[in-house]
Structure 1
């Protein structure tokens, strides 16, 4: 270790002879995506494993495939021997160290039988990760990749924050909203005096207690925020779900960092993530991919669901006021209130870019800027006119699309962002990265969306829209069934934009639109689904969110219902889409007509026939929309949701069969 200019440098030695690799080449997404921290890998030619740094052994896995070291400078180093070698139950490894040992760099620690690992069908790649990179690491500098290295020789230098003089405090309250839950858990596992240490995996707090009998299982299981309790592998496990890391931080904040073990936590997270994501076969992989996409989508939306719901309700009130001619769309009052209600939706790509980037590990500011580029006024203006939407960039033909209120494109940008940023950092010198990496990343991502994603969405949406209109000409009932069933899915992927010009043209040219009546039905069905959840759930937070989302959907804004509840608990969305299909078929059968760009329950004036008043069309509106509402509420209440889904959603792991790291 050296100190220069208030900078602490830690030399990292190769743990084995072999070829030095960047983590991105590791055939394990948990490590290759940097989820366990920064580091490097070695494709070994020898099974003689040595310590990469001086320090204290903090972890020796029960299956001997991994060990951890904490340096005196506070860096937590995890060395993982092979990929999926936990399944070999320690057979290829002979361990010469134990937890608590003081070791020095270059000291022999483990013998790894490379042939046995290969014969078992596993990869021998050795991975080194600094598991507390986010907290301590400034920069990791390597001597160069894809070259042969010798065990014990320095291959990288870590520049870390100097934490040796940090005075540890143990606050009673960390300022986290999980403080009360953390305090109750600590109290009921027997207090601080009964805790040896605590780690966490992807869903559970894992306590090593001095005496399990002192823990009050019944009280802990009934705490708000706890799913259940499990005991396995010498651990007392409190199942929390997706917020486990936040609860863990609150627990450590109260009892002190001496009870934590970052390396053991990283290893537990790595193994349980792998277990939870392990799927086989084409269809399970498709389902897993869809589940991951929806997970990112809903998690990115959750921080803004409240403002979306409130904005939707405000837009609904404005629609009612203008529908009854109480407020003019040209008045200053309307303009200001409409801006307040519409801003969140208009600038959704920017807001969602920020939240999605945080979820996916990209730079939130850069992705938010990409969102701003997508809705740049001149691009929106050109995209809104058929004569100017088709253009080119450096000779490459492209079709401009209006991305205001869109969701899918910016999620794609947030997903790609971390890979592009990682690539740019590899090729751009350190001293100019801060200037060139962000702008080049924004440029590349914007072009991918504008030139790649935009035209694809345009092509697909036009094809779908033309097909759906053709079906309506053939059979309004069939068209209502199909469009009612798929429209909200089209909204998720931005494929609905092809229908909007058709609806606008119908109303502008003919004064009415049958298609818009069916689109209106889909909003009611999604709203009815969350209303059913509100009526059935006992979870206070979900009940509150569901009611607000239902009101918003009845006002014509389904985003809070879709992303806050229905997609999160996928069966609700499926059942709601079935109800929507049935309601759409009823709407088509009754030939319900719409006379303005308004709909759902709040937009009922748009179904009053001009010059005729309340008549058969309005009565058909009432039958179709309130019939759909009833169908949706009943189906979701009976078949779409139970509170048991909350526990299943929060803890995807099998409670009775958990592989411990």
Structure 2
């Protein structure tokens, strides 16, 4: 059996790993290896040939994977992560190929000693259990580059075997979000199993090489993780309010090249139903990526709109004042120029130039174009006015301000045309003529053909939803209120959110959003009951912030952290949502802003003056909150449920199957 020859990365005395002044390394929990003490520092050399798979952002640790699959970690000093990289200068990056003896970094021993840290350098095989048969270490004093050990790998294992071990930094050197990110990466099959990663409001979303290698039970049980969801071809780790910090830590450890606004290529379906699922997943993915960056802006604008309405209702200002003009511009700009913002974000997701597509959004919302859209009488055949012409060719000019879907289609068209233009336009002319041709071609395609079609379809869908609501607001409220949050579980609510945004943008209000608001309050009421009733400090610490989050319009921490986990709680919350939705429909509650739940109270103020919608909102929200709270408190939860949940997780730890909630 041939072995991998290992060189000393630095000079000093080779010592047994068990003699290292660190319990994690000494116990070999991270893998077998050796250490070098008493170094004089200087250049740090690659102990083996292979590919660099990890470089700690503080420079104190570097991981290398050999062709045989052995993963070596070179850890420079003990607890040196606390020095924030000051003693180290790294010469390689993740993805680089190195030969044994190549320079990896420099190590300033004097700076480490002055900081009171141990200079012992550790070399370990982090996937010892899976890949290493034995390691023969040669004791004694060595110089950097001297042979110091031979590692004998095991026979190759099938690809479908257990997850590849990651190359994390030692467990005692990472804390907070960095530790959470490290453990998530370990639980999803290691760095090599990650193709791409992005995030939304509450979730870090991974595209994995092989989803079967991710351990749902392990990941969902981590501190800082609320739950795990597999949907839309993504492995979604629900984090909550700290999602951006965890995402940043994940990309720091994996490398920024995996952070992508675009979804990586994945295998094409082989069946008709597979193509249906694939297409739906693609559409939801584009809508999600397009809307997430502007959801906060829409919510903030809705709140400003509500405050403006209150100021007018109580005669603080009137609609002829300069104050009104200024505040109204703040509240309406994001809706008026929605195609510009959505065009930018959609282009990033689809791989087109975001600035060019944003300019196309500007073409669609140009003031004189909006004036054209308001002119003309409907054509008897088409049912819409042919209110504009291009060189004598008549076409329907729609009002694209406040719209979402036409610019998403424009971004898709641009993503197809842009690569072709770059191939046919000479490099010397590309800087000017690619943007020029792309703006002209895509704008004309949308204005003359696809724009009117998309507006017709999206308006038809909105009218259909409104028609169903008009047939029976009460029944619609009951059904939507009872089942809407179930859509959130699977991420399908992203198919509804743009319709709500479009409805508010075009008509100024949304009855559907008023019902959705009641479901948010209900989820908050249920988790609030758990917070008050439980005596478990850990659960109380989770339920309290989750309740606040739900009452501020973000229900996922409540749902994944508590309500779904304890089964009956989600049912009682859904009953509360049904009650709130029923009363919302019965009282014909309308909503003029995007922000829902209790924090969105100002969204229920009619710009023409305070009316029954506001009082209906208070009644429906109060009923949803009280119903879900009381049902949960008396029937939906007891502390023994939490004990059972913990027992289930311990039994399922290491399972490759999702835990049933």
TM-score range, shorter chain: 0.3 to 0.5
TM-score, structure 2 normalization = 0.47
